[in-house]
Amino acid sequence: MKNVIDRFLEYVKVDTQSQDDVEAVPSTEKQRNLAKILVKELKEIGASNVRLSDNCYVYATIPANTDKKLPVIGFVSHMDTSNAISGANVKPQIIKNYDGGEIVLNKDLNIKMSPIDYPSLTLSKGKDLIVTDGTTLLGADDKAGVAEIMTLAETLLTHPEIEHGTIQIGFTPDEEVGRGVDFFDVEGFGADFAYTVDGGELGEIEYENFNAASGKLQIQGRSIHPGSAKNKMVNALLLAMEFQNMLPAHEDPMHTENYEGFYMLNALEGTVDSARAVYIIRDHDKEQFEAKKARFLKIGEYLNEKYGDGTFTVEVKDSYYNMKEKVEPHMHLIDNARRAMEELGVTPIVVPIRGGTDGARLSYMGLPCPNICTGGSNFHGRYEYIPVQSMEKVVEILLKIVEIYATQENSK
């Protein structure tokens, strides 16, 4: 039987970065490379109904091995990785028995990771850490979740003495660009509820997330030779800066935490003649979320009045919503995840997600789907890491959740 670490080290070497502003799903064809590996492996370990959809979704079933009337549980992770930094040619390293000090990721490039900058590293002292070589991300978000679910599947299929109901497995593309469940077949998946395995440090359980929207600006300036520009030039780049300066400075991600929302300028490009800006807008509270969107649009209206109609074209589009209201009627999902952790000596940490997961949208598609940890930290960058022992413990947690539901007949 292949262990979770061997799987993870294999999966991270497959480049699966997704791409923004691409209409097709998957947004990158290279995501299919991992999908095909997973399909092959699922068939080899004996999973049923293994299939790969045209849009690169992997589904499989672990049939029930009991006559009890048990709920059908789903486990979901995403195959793509962030495009914030390269995900090609990932070269993972294992730091054995981490001593709590500075880690040299790349001696040649003098890239180091220190607990001074990342205090959570101190919690991993004495563990074996999987880290990058400093030139790419690691891909634990969310290939750790993929490896943990795959190991759960093989464990159940090779240990018939572990009683369980039907388990459904789903792996999605394009989560990192907000399109992870655009074509997810909830009805065909057939689960009563599910968990995304896409969280952070060991012990995290999440059933609250941001309400999210994207904001896009198209700014039309007027380019004139600077020698004769007086009262004629309209610099689109400066107008973009003016728009940004009208947003509350304290509502930037750099200055927010916990339940506090924000506006984030995610991209800015252009010239004097025209510019384009892309924002993300986030808030846990629905009323404040609506107020943030309204402010964003109002600034555009004001600047059009100031500089002329058509100077600013402003678009706001909702991305996903806080799953809390969809999960709260099914709090057994949280209670049982908490119980599973406690029985395994892990302290549950129920925290709001300062982001989103596939589970947020799945919850609004009729599949209640909170999020649980993978064990990793510092996602989306060269300083990403995950302890070996945390990944192994997450597999135990998933197994324990399955076992708990097997003792709760009629628990849908």
Q: What is residue 409's predicted lDDT score, i.e. its pLDDT?
A: 59
Q: Residues 292-303: pLDDT tens digits?
A: 999 999 999 999
Q: What is the pTM assigned to this prediction?
A: 0.89
80 a catalytic residue: yes
Query: Same domain for 250 and 341?
Result: no
Domain closes at, from 320, 338, 365 = 320
Query: Same domain for 278 and 135?
Result: no
Contacts of 395 (CB under 8 A, 6+ apart): 4, 148, 151, 152, 155
- 307 domain-assigned: yes
175 a catalytic residue: yes
Q: How far apart are CA 223 and CA 311, in angstroms?
A: 13
Query: Same domain for 329 and 309?
Result: no
- 133 domain-assigned: yes
Q: What is residue 53's predicted lDDT score, i.e. its pLDDT?
A: 98
- 412 domain-assigned: no
Query: Same domain for 235 and 313?
Result: yes
> Mean pLDDT, to the nearest integer, of 123-150?
97
Identify the band that residue 375 occupies on the pLDDT scale cut at 50, 70 and 90: very high
Query: Same domain for 40 and 148?
Result: yes
Domain closes at, from 276, 301, 320 = 320
| CATH number where 284 lies | 3.30.70.360
The one catalytic residue in 175, 176, 201, 204 is: 175
Q: For residue 35, what are the domain limits?
A: 4-208+322-406
- 101 domain-assigned: yes
> What does the DSSP 8-state code read for residue 209?
B
Contacts of 198 (CB under 8 A, 6+ apart): 76, 77, 78, 141, 142, 145, 175, 357, 358, 359, 371, 374
> What does the DSSP 8-state code read for residue 272?
S
Amino acid letter, 29: E
Query: Same domain for 121 and 255?
Result: no
Quick check: 64 pLDDT over 90? yes
Query: Same domain for 109 and 230?
Result: no
Q: What is residue 356's predicted lDDT score, i.e. its pLDDT?
A: 78
For residue 212, the cross-strand partners are 282, 320
Closest by CA to 284, choosing from 257, 317, 252, is: 257
Residue 212: burial class (beta carbons within 10 Å; 0-12, 13-18, 19+): buried
| CATH number where 381 lies | 3.40.630.10
Domain closes at, from 286, 320, 354 = 320
Q: Residues 189-246: pLDDT tens digits?
A: 999 999 999 999 999 999 999 999 999 999 999 999 999 999 999 999 999 999 999 9
The one catalytic residue in 15, 41, 80, 142 is: 80
Identify the band that residue 178 occupies on the pLDDT scale cut at 50, 70 and 90: confident
- 135 domain-assigned: yes
- 44 domain-assigned: yes
Q: What is residue 226's predicted lDDT score, i.e. its pLDDT?
A: 92
Query: Same domain for 135 and 248?
Result: no
Query: Same domain for 19 and 8?
Result: yes
Quick check: 7 pLDDT over 70? yes
Query: Same domain for 289 and 351?
Result: no
Query: Same domain for 234 and 189?
Result: no
Query: Could you give the number of structural domains in the chain?
Result: 2
211-220 vs 103-106, strand pairing mode: unpaired
Q: How far apart are CA 98 and CA 260, in angstroms?
A: 34
The sheet carrying 58-62 orders its strands as 48-52, 58-62, 167-172, 73-78, 193-197, 371-372, 204-206, 349-350
16, 28 Cβ separation under 8 angstroms: yes
Quick check: 355 pLDDT over 90? no
- 411 domain-assigned: no
For residue 93, the cross-strand partners are 131
Query: Same domain for 304 and 327?
Result: no
191, 74 Cβ separation under 8 angstroms: yes
Q: How far apart are CA 166 and CA 77, in angstroms?
A: 18
